[in-house]
Chain A
Amino acid sequence: MKGLPKLCVISSDHECTSDETYDLVEKCRKAGVEVKHHSQKYLCHVYALLPFLPEAQAAEKQIVDFLTV
């Protein structure tokens, strides 16, 4: 993972790719990659793409803030 750019990772603790997302974040951080990891509880896979959910709107704000800072 060395040499990867700054990452913003959006996930949920209760969705199917939760374990591997945490593995990825840990490996990246160990390799010196700057990672912002936003993980919500109780939500489904790719919840951030369901724009009518307040939880998705919060995720969108996290992504836009990351990209525009």
Chain B
Amino acid sequence: MILSNSTALHHTCSDEYSAITTLMWPLRLGPMTLSRMRFGLANIGYNFPYDSRIRTTKVEGIHGEYLGKMVSHTHTQHTSKSVIFWIYGGAFLSGNVDGNVPLAANYADKTNSSAFVVNYKLCPEGTVENAVEDVIDAYNFLLASDYVDDASNVTILGISSGGGLAVRLMQHIALNKEFYGGVTVKNAVLICPWVNYDIENLPKSLVENTVHDLIVHQGVFSYVIPFGPRMAEMSDGKSNYRKVSPIFHR
């Protein structure tokens, strides 16, 4: 306990947080690889207890593309068609639908909703712009489907880089009001959103807080940053950090 409390950032953190700080600290010493990142994020759902009531339905687009999964609980008596549009995180390099299903199901259950966990292309196979296109396509498909009545029943939830995609999606909806009939989503939740990808002018916290951050520690930071130019690549093959970053959009 004494060791745990001395490794967390502050003595007011819970014992559980202090303990996990101690247990996870050595992870920053090992080499980071894409496989390790993807394995870790693909298994994030194991933090949640197994729930046999979770039901998933794979959703495909008109050309058979994998758009994501609808998630609900078999016992939930839905009184509305509320849907949480769930955008996972993982620094654009990792994260996947199946790993996020238990998390999305947990929030769906507690809010009497369904959830739609959206699938999008990761880097370096794709770019941030590819991911934005995938998220917009999936949102448009969902609106046209029977899964929701209209956009006013949709909550967007984005985690980290998924939070950045959530902001880009909401900016797209706001800029194309006529296309969407003037209806925007009901609300949105952003969990620690990553919205600035300008690696030439990194925010101070992105550099300094990696020293004690359990999740984005120095090993993750130094591995992710070199992917910046590929992430920010536009259709002309040139990188534009400010254009891909939702924080610089009006």
Contacts and interface: CB of A to CB of B under 8 A. Distances in A.
A10 B106 CA distance: 17
A12 B216 CA distance: 13
Contacts of B196: 20, 23
Given A20-B194, A24-B193, A63-B107, A8 B187 contact: yes
Interface stretch (B7-15, B119-127, B133-141, B228-236): B7-15
B47 A52 contact: yes
Contacts of B173: 3
A64 B167 CA distance: 20
Nearest to A31: B250
A44 B194 contact: no
Given A43-B17, A51-B47, A55-B17, A19 B206 contact: yes
A16 B167 contact: no
Interface in A36-69: 41-55, 59-60, 63-64, 66-68
B48 to A, nearest CB: 6
A27 B249 CA distance: 10
Contacts of B175: 3
A29 to B, nearest CB: 14
Contact of B13 (A21, A46, A55): A55
A61 to B, nearest CB: 9
B210 to A, nearest CB: 6
A46 B99 CA distance: 15
Contact of B191 (A42, A48, A53): A48
A60 B175 CA distance: 31
Interface residues of B, number: 61
B160 interface: yes
A55 B14 contact: yes
A18 B106 CA distance: 26
A50 B47 contact: yes
A46 B170 contact: no
B152 to A, nearest CB: 9
B192 A68 contact: no
B77 to A, nearest CB: 15
8 contacts: A6-B186, A7-B189, A15-B213, A20-B196, A43-B13, A49-B47, A52-B47, A59-B191
Interface of B: 8-10, 12-14, 16-17, 20, 44, 47-48, 84, 89, 103, 106-107, 110-113, 155-156, 159-160, 167, 170-171, 173-175, 177, 184-196, 203-206, 209-210, 212-216, 221, 246-247, 249-250
Given A2-B174, A42-B10, A63-B189, 15 more contacts: A1-B171, A7-B188, A9-B190, A11-B192, A14-B9, A15-B192, A20-B196, A23-B196, A24-B195, A46-B159, A46-B192, A47-B17, A47-B192, A66-B187, A67-B107
